[in-house]
Structure 1
Amino acid sequence: MGEGNASGRVELTHEDAHAGEYGVRRRCLPEPWMCDVFYLDGSLRDIRILDVTLVEWIAVCEHLRAVADETEVEHPYPLLDPVRPDLTDLFRTWADEPEGEGTSFAFRARFGAVWFFALPCDEEEIEFSLWLEDVLDGAGVAAVLRFLREVATAGRRTALLTGEVVRYDPGMATLISHDPETGLTSHI
């Protein structure tokens, strides 16, 4: 499955089976565990921090605005700046929405070539998702690991990379985690 390169190192490659706007793209993930974590299975991966409040949500998004290569916000609230709303006002407006109104907003951050996006639906769990098709190589994996560390650091809690689910279940596998207290990042 892998091919040796000039240095004798085996590089595991995966061919994307889909043709998107960029055509068929070749993936080269340099470590076997990366192939397991970022396996193209048609689903997203989620980065989450559990048991948070709006204060942590705001801190994480403010921090991402400062360190990401690019951020974007889309929201339906006419009284807020349409391009760069104050995040405290944005989260308070969102949290004050009557239950069942169905309005939310999107926050996106780009690290390298990988976009991470949140559609907040729960005040108590930070969740960002990413498309596996954006993780093409070691640089893409490095972007995911950096994002995980930045989110954990800003939220002051362990950040988890998991498979895609609507709500976290403590029994589900953690693919990668970062503990900001110890500085340790671990993977499956």
Structure 2
Amino acid sequence: MGETNARGRVELTHEDVHAGERGTRGRCLPEPWMCNVFYLDGSLRDIRVLDTTRVEWIAVLEHLRVVADETEVVHSYPRLDPVRPAVADLFRVWADEPEGQESSFCFRARFGAVWFRAWPAFEEEIEFSVWPEDVLDGAGVAAVLRFLVEVATTSQRRALLTAEVVLYDPGLPTLISHDPASGLTSHI
């Protein structure tokens, strides 16, 4: 079920993360403390990847379209497909063209019963928000962990689950992270 490393953090393997998703472990899977990360305090939880580019954003969103149970895009760009616009076109209009300068777009991905939402604000930081009230049990925690792993693996950068913030501050505590280089998910 995960092991504690030398710094006292619990680390989970890929198999641990997916065991919770398949329901082969108890209610708050894969570790009981993970349900505590989603206590209701009036704020969202954010999944962040720092120091990114447009290329990584596009790769992550395209990958999520393939692996998520469901995805949706909401935008106000009249020249793009209203239901399933190309991800590269969304970023081009949003970042490079006058019609996109006044607004962003919303990309939503559902894993199990949990929705993850992105409203791109900066190309340099991938950020998805998740409502804690959507993470009700072990299956919800497992969905968050799977999402975290998918985003980190696709971007090839560490993905962080934090409390809601406007701009990431390295001094803020990270609740859970996934390092694609080591393949470990850690609670900090």
The reply to whether TM is greater than 0.5 is yes
Q: Which amino acid aligns with 2:67?
A: V
Report matched runs for 1:15-164 at 5 Å.
Answer: 29=28, 31-98=31-98, 101-164=101-164
Return the alpha-carbon distance in structure 2 between the equivalents of residues 36 and 135 of structure 1. Answer: 10
Q: Over residues 89-110 of structure 1, what are the superposed CA-to-partner deviations in whole Å (9 max), with x where a residue is unaligned?
A: 1111111145994311000000
Distance change in 2, residues 1:178/1:55 (3 Å): same
Return the alpha-carbon distance in structure 2 between the equivalents of residues 154 and 96 of structure 1. Answer: 24
Gaps (5+ residues) in structure 2?
A: 1-26
- Is 1:184 the equivalent of 2:184? yes
**Structure with higher strand content:** 1
Aligned length: 161
Distance change in 2, residues 1:53/1:99 (3 Å): farther
Return the alpha-carbon distance in structure 1 between the equivalents of residues 187 and 173 of structure 2. Answer: 10
Return the alpha-carbon distance in structure 2 between the equivalents of residues 107 and 46 of structure 1. Answer: 14
- Post-superposition offset of 1:45: 0.1
Distance change in 2, residues 1:29/1:40 (3 Å): farther
Q: TM-score, normalised by structure 1?
A: 0.82
Q: Which amino acid aligns with 1:115?
A: W
Return the alpha-carbon distance in structure 1 between the equivalents of residues 158 and 104 of structure 2. Answer: 25
Of structures 1 and 2, the one with the larger relative CO (CA 8 A, separation 6+) is 2
Return the alpha-carbon distance in structure 2 between the equivalents of residues 126 and 74 of structure 1. Answer: 17
Q: Which amino acid aligns with 1:139?
A: A
Q: TM-score, normalised by structure 2?
A: 0.82
Q: Which amino acid aligns with 1:126?
A: I
Structure with larger Rg: 1
The Cα RMSD (Å) is 1.6
Return the alpha-carbon distance in structure 2 between the equivalents of residues 46 and 141 of structure 1. Answer: 14
Q: Over residues 141-176 of structure 1, what are the superposed CA-to-partner deviations in whole Å (9 max), with x where a residue is unaligned?
A: 000000000000111100000000000000000000
Return the alpha-carbon distance in structure 2 between the equivalents of residues 180 and 106 of structure 1. Answer: 26
- Post-superposition offset of 1:39: 1.2
CA contact (8 A) 2:44 2:129 kept: yes
Q: Which moved more, 1:92-101 or 1:137-146?
A: 92-101
CA contact (8 A) 2:52 2:123 kept: yes
